[in-house]
């Protein structure tokens, strides 16, 4: 079993809708969870982090964490074409981050 | 000002050659990393250094050797390049011992012919 799993997509969402990205992880001891956005040909950039169970909102982005189910998600409200990118879920491991394979998101105008 | 910089941005070379990639960060971070991202976008850590000390050395061939002359620099030297080394290599840094909020450089696209 992979340590961090994401649906590679592509996920296609109409402009203005909610995009929902999901991630599961295998290490029950993980405490910190991150979402990175990577535009094509660019480097990953941190957009959200969450440490506690529940929801964390930042503008149009909401991260959700359920440690019992070992599940992290990212919701993007009012999706814009500029949100089209690959979204990488990352989970803190032993002195490192472990990344999922990323979900490619396309927002259709 | 560029926070994490890498040179070169593109590297095209023949099999069997030796090449180096340089990385510098001006964020004052103590921890630096090298990642490899393959064609399927899978981002995997190779090495990390904390204040010039090697912290992580994942199962990477001995042909890859990192060097950290000071905490602001982490270079990657690759000997006897192979076709499978073709990938994008990212340098990153993070504040001391957090390992969490990492800032990535622009990447070096290595193509081995």
The tens-digit pLDDT sequence of chain B (113 residues) is 679 999 999 999 999 999 999 999 999 998 999 999 998 888 999 999 988 888 888 878 999 999 999 989 999 999 999 999 999 999 999 986 665 689 999 999 999 99
Tell me whether residues B101 and A34 touch, CB distance under 8 A: yes
- CB proximity B105 to A under 8 Å: yes
Q: What average pLDDT does this structure show over A15-29?
A: 95
- CB proximity A3 to B under 8 Å: no
Helix or strand or coil: residue B37?
Answer: strand
Q: What average pLDDT does this structure show over A6-13?
A: 90
Q: Report the C-alpha gap between B77 and B65 in whole angstroms.
A: 5
Tell me whether residues A95 and B99 touch, CB distance under 8 A: yes
Contact A61, A48 (CB under 8 A): yes
- CB proximity B101 to A under 8 Å: yes
Look up tokens 């090697």; give the residue: B54
Residue A2: pLDDT over 80 = no
- CB proximity A35 to B under 8 Å: no
Look up tokens 């032993």; give the residue: A94
Give, rounded to a whole angstrom, the gap between the first and last alpha carbons of chain A. Answer: 37
What is the per-residue pLDDT for B97? 60
- CB proximity A42 to B under 8 Å: yes
- Greater pLDDT, B52 or A39: A39
Tell me whether residues A102 and B42 touch, CB distance under 8 A: yes
- CB proximity A11 to B under 8 Å: no
**Shortest alpha-carbon distance between residue B63 and chain A (Å):** 22
Q: Give the β-pairing of B4-7 and A61-66.
A: unpaired
How many residue pairs bridge chain A and chain B with CB atoms within 8 Å of each other? 50
């Amino acid at each position: 079993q992979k340590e961090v799993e994401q649906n590679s997509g592509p996920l296609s969402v109409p402009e203005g809708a909610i995009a929902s990205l999901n991630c599961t992880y295998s290490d029950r001891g993980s405490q910190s969870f991150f979402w990175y956005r990577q535009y094509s040909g660019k480097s990953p950039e941190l957009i959200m982090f969450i440490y506690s169970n529940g929801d964390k909102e930042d503008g149009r982005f909401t991260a959700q964490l359920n440690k019992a189910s070992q599940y992290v998600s990212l919701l993007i409200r009012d999706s814009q074409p500029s949100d089209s990118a690959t979204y990488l879920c990352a989970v803190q491991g032993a002195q490192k981050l472990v990344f999922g394979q990323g979900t490619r998101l396309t927002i259709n105008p | 000002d560029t926070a994490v910089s890498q040179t070169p941005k593109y590297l095209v070379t023949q099999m069997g050659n030796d090449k180096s990639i340089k990385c510098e960060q001006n964020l004052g971070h103590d921890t630096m990393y090298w990642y490899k991202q393959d064609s399927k976008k899978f981002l995997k850590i190779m090495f990390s250094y904390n204040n010039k000390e090697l912290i992580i050395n994942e199962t990477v061939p001995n042909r890859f050797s990192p060097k950290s002359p000071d905490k602001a620099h982490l270079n990657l030297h690759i000997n006897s390049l192979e076709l499978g080394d073709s990938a994008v290599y990212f340098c990153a840094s993070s504040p001391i011992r957090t390992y969490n909020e990492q800032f990535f450089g622009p990447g070096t696209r290595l193509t081995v012919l």
